[in-house]
Amino acid sequence: MKAADIMTTKIVTIDSLATIAEAAKVMQQNNIKALIVDRASDEDAYGIITVTDVSQAIANAKNPRETYVCEVMTKPCIVVNPDLAVEHIAKLFARAKIHIAPVIKDKLIGIISITDILTKTDCFDIITRSIPQKREESAELYLNESIETESDLIYESWCSG
């Protein structure tokens, strides 16, 4: 199964000069936890703002009506190729400590989250299929280990935009 098979194609975006109060309102209206930040030009990278970014800004005493999305967003953000296998996305999310990423192939075509992986796949089978037999009992450790492998080198070619 690939990213394109489970990604969400309804993408909600926001301008980087919107306030985080406006971003929070858009997230609430759409019942989502992240917004893709529009690019300033075709050569620009995509950004992302999450509810965590908004809550951290507020916790750091930033006024939500005076703080812009561009001040708290992540840019460039990690992106996923639509042809990437779901088990690799799960590993990427665990290693990068993220829960959501835009899906891009020449242009923004979707968004994929850990929730998509958990609800649209048989995630236990995906995880155990990618783990050597002797390590099934330590799936979480395997996904989080930082030993560089051949697959780590592959990540470099598709995990940032």
Res. 122: pLDDT tops 90: no
pLDDT for the residue 127: 55
More confident residue, 9 or 136: 9
pLDDT digits (tens, 9 = 90+) for 38-73: 998 888 999 999 999 999 999 999 999 999 999 999
For residue 111, give the H/E element and its range.
strand 107-113
Please compute Rg for the chain using Cα positions: 17
**Which positions ≥6 away from 95 have C-beta within 8 Å?**
143, 144, 146, 155
CA distance 121 to 139: 17
pLDDT for the residue 57: 96
Res. 145: pLDDT tops 60: no
If one counts every other C-beta atom within 10 angstroms of the C-beta of residue 28, the result is: 10
pLDDT digits (tens, 9 = 90+) for 68-92: 999 999 999 999 999 999 999 999 9
> What are the structural domains of the chain?
3-155 (3.10.580.10)
pLDDT for the residue 126: 54
Res. 128: pLDDT tops 90: no
